[in-house]
Amino acid sequence: MDVPVSWKWERLNWAMGISLVAPLEVRNEAELAVVANLARRLILGQTTLGAEFSGYRYGRSDWLREQGKLTIGSEA
């Protein structure tokens, strides 16, 4: 099963929220700003996930490759 990029904008009882599934890592404030900017542009209709991540899908082979990296990295 592959997981495609997706996003959903929804009203919560205390704010507006966005759920975003995309190949992004957030390790610091600068990377968080990139995600926030992407979310803003999606909401304003200035871009689409198709334009930003054309054809991207996360699948079993990706997951297995990452697991191998984690195992190798944890042994060092």
Q: What is the mean pLDDT of each run of 10 residues along the chain (76 residues)?
A: 88 93 93 96 95 86 78 53
Q: What pLDDT, on a 0 to 100 scale, did the predictor assign at position 76?
A: 45
Q: What pLDDT, on a 0 to 100 scale, did the predictor assign at position 46?
A: 97
| pTM of the full structure | 0.74
Which 3-state string (H, E, C) describes the chain?
A: CCEECEEEEEECCCCEEEEEECCCCCCCHHHHHHHHHHHHHHHCCCCCHHHHCCCCEECHHHHHHHHHHHHHHHHC
